Amino acid sequence: MAGRGSSLSRETRLEKILKDEIPVYRRRGGGCTVFLDKGSLIVSTAFPAVGISGIPALFARCTHWLIKGLNRAGIDGIYPDGISDLVVDNHKIGGSCLKRSKDFAYFSASILVSTDLDMMGNYLEYPPREPEYRQGRAHHDFVRNLSCYYHGITAQGLSLCLGKALGTEFPS
C-alpha cells in the first residue's frame, strides 16, 4: 500500500512486485509504502475535525485512541514513537496515516499481527525517511509482529476484540 506521495521506484523492489504479480494500491493518506498481507490488521476511522490544520495533534489523538482500544482488548505495552508508529520494546508493530480535509479527518493504521516479514523485506526497499528510533535498522531488525509478544493471536481474532473495544467511539 503506497502513500499518497510515495515513489514506488524508490520505496519498493518494483521488478519483483511485477514479476510476482503482487497488487499495489495507493492510499489517500501520506507515509511511505508498506507491505500488507492476511496477517496485517487495518483499523480505520473517519470523524469531524474543525479546520484544516493540526495534523500532529490529530495523529496523537488517534494513536492514543487506538492504543487505548488495544489495551481494552488485552494488548499492553504499546506506545507511540516517530510521527505515527505503534511500538513495542523499541520495535515497530504498526504505522498509520492521516488524510485531512476541511472539517474531516480519516485515520488508518496497519498493525503487524502475523505478517510475513520475510516477504516485506523481499518487496520493500529501505525507506527514504525514517523515525529517529529506527537507528538505521533493516526491516527484519526494526519491525516485529504482535504475535511475537502475544502467542496465538491472529489478525481476525484481534479484529473481533478490537472492534468491541473501540466500539463506535471516535478518537477524543
Cα 116–119–120 angle (5° rounding)?
90
H/E segment holding residue 91:
strand 91-101
pTM: 0.93
For the chain, list the domains and their CATH numbers: 8-166 (3.30.930.10)
Rounded to 10 degrees, the C-alpha dihedral 15/143/33/170 comes to 150
pLDDT above 80: residue 154: yes
Q: What is the pLDDT of residues 9-48, one digit of tens each?
A: 999 999 999 999 999 999 988 889 999 999 999 999 999 9
Cell numbers for 23, please give them: 497488487
User: CB-based contacts of 11: which residues, under 8 Å, 6+ apart?
Assistant: 2, 32, 33, 124, 125, 127, 128
User: CB-based contacts of 156: which residues, under 8 Å, 6+ apart?
Assistant: none
Q: pLDDT at position 28, please? A: 84
Q: What is the pLDDT of residues 100-147, one digit of tens each?
A: 888 889 999 999 999 999 999 999 999 999 999 999 999 999 999 999
Q: pLDDT at position 131, please? A: 93
Q: What is the pLDDT of residues 37-86, one digit of tens each?
A: 999 999 999 999 887 778 899 999 999 999 999 999 999 999 999 988 99
H/E segment holding residue 9:
helix 8-11
Q: pLDDT at position 53, please? A: 79
